Amino acid sequence: MNKIFKRKIILLGAILILVIIFGVLKGSVNLSFSELFASENRQILHLRLVRVILAIIAGSGLSVCGIALQAILRNPLAEPYLLGTSSGAGLAAVIALTLGLAVTYIPFAAFIGAILSTLLVYYISRERGKIGVQSLILSGIIVSIAFSAIILFLLSTSEREALHGISWWLWGNLEVFDFKLLSIVGVIVAFGIFTVYMFSQDLNAISIGEEEAVHLGINVELMKKILLFLVSLITAAIISVCGVIGFVGLVIPHMSRLIIGPNHKLLIPVSCVLSSAFMILCDSLARTIFAPSEIPIGVITAIVGAPIFIILLKKSEE
């Protein structure tokens, strides 16, 4: 690693630390530094720290999923929700509320829904035991559209007040009420990111082309299946605790490539740092723009992420 890369990594690390401090200090309630660390405000400090941790977990997981999918599908527009996980999770959550299940069961229902929708997409896209890239993308789009239509129908016809409130969850938020769930999700995401990182060299090879990867002795089909499983697991876990947060897994990988290059051994950790800072900043904006009211973080990531992606897209065409 040359000096330029080292300087970039040190700079990104410093930016992340500053953003973490900012995320802890800023919130819907204006408190000075001394007030925040006072004993009577310890609960507020604790909640802000937990939100920052969840932002790091969710941002890192979504960006790594985006990197993996963009590599194995060789599609720059691939992102974590491409496999129908978001619509599957949303539909399962809506059905759970329609059946009268308690809100505490929503994360579990969303996780199961995300996994099942991914399995459905995988089953539809199989071609003679292999995963067809174009079929996988089209299947994901079709399943997402179908499930989204069902969600809209249930939301528009149901009289349950709790069901109408799920739109907040569908747009994502980092409010944490179940710390045990957060711990489980953190372990799942950390395991998934570590395992994807172990495939860094394989991802480098398959990004060039499947034939080249095969010539290097890589079992491409097995690698695809493992990585698709890991992506589904990570995405489902994140959705279960904080809902659907778009653009992170699409924009951050492209920004990271501009900063550090296409080598996945460097790209994955840099993407984790960059996405963590991005998520913390977006969450801070969501909490403070209309304080004490809070905007779903998915709205902020879409508003900020869409222009960034357009700029990156235009720059790549030059």
**pLDDT, tens only, 47-85:** 899 999 999 999 999 999 999 999 988 888 888 888 888
Residue 235: CB partners within 8 Å, gap ≥ 6? 61, 62, 65, 80, 81, 83, 85, 86, 114
> Using CA atoms, how far apart are residues 37 and 256, in angstroms rounded to an integer?
35
| pLDDT of amino acid 268 | 95
**pTM recorded for the entire structure:** 0.90
> Using CA atoms, how far apart are residues 271 and 266, in angstroms rounded to an integer?
8
| pLDDT of amino acid 317 | 57
SS3 274: helix
Q: How far from 254 is each of 118, 173, 260, CA to CA, in Å?
A: 24, 24, 10
Q: What angle do CA 230, 104, 163 make, to 5 degrees?
A: 95
The answer to whether the CB of 248 falls within 8 A of the CB of 301 is: yes
Could you tell me the residue ranges of all domains in the chain?
3-317
Tell me the residue length of the chain.
318
The answer to whether the CB of 121 falls within 8 A of the CB of 138 is: no
* The pair of three-digit structure tokens given for residue 271, joined into one six-digit string: 């993407």
* Positions in the chain whose pLDDT score sits under 70: 1-2, 102-103, 129, 158-165, 168, 315-318
| pLDDT of amino acid 18 | 95
| pLDDT of amino acid 210 | 76
- Does CATH place domain 3-317 in 1.10.3470.10? yes
Residue type, 239: I
> Using CA atoms, how far apart are residues 164 and 245, in angstroms rounded to an integer?
19
Strands 130-131 and 126-127: antiparallel
Angle, helices 42-72 vs 179-198, to 10°: value is 30
Q: What angle do CA 67, 69, 72 make, to 5 degrees?
A: 110
| pLDDT of amino acid 162 | 61
| pLDDT of amino acid 164 | 59
| pLDDT of amino acid 177 | 72
